[in-house]
Amino acid sequence: MRTIKNIVVHCSATRPEADIGAAEIRRWHVEDNGWRDVGYHYIIRRDGRVEAGRPVEQPGAHVAGHNADSLGLCLVGGLDANGRSAAEYAPAQWAALRRLLGRLKERFPEADILGHRDFPGVAKDCPCFDVRRWLAGEGNA
């Protein structure tokens, strides 16, 4: 098993009404980007279902320069109805994210949990909330 230094939270940059999951994101990444598979290891749908993406044993394609030692989780959403950055995730997603992160921290206790936007050189707001503050109970949900 590879060493995991970071668990990275992302968003799909879709509006609240977009009911998508691993199959749709896989199609975007493979057909549109030319990648060999979906870039994320887990996708959390609007209803809170967690879907498997790329196998954990394989590096993802989600943070340039950090894929070899990280896991990528994607929350479906991240935009409001007008297409602006917003952490308007469903309550079931917040709960699923907390459970998934708990399981992953048990498996990879040394890993830091970050948002995509926390990496140097990332100009995106992804996942549209401060992951560290949220984990500390100061955040959005």
Active site residues: 10, 40, 116, 124, 126
Helices marked H in 33-126 — which ranges?
A: 91-107
Strands 50-52, 42-44: pairing is antiparallel
Per 3-state DSSP, the chain is made up of helix, strand and coil in percentages (nearest 5) of 30, 20, 55
What contacts 140, CB < 8 A, 6 or more positions away?
87, 129, 130, 134
Q: Tokens 């308007």 identify what position?
A: 88
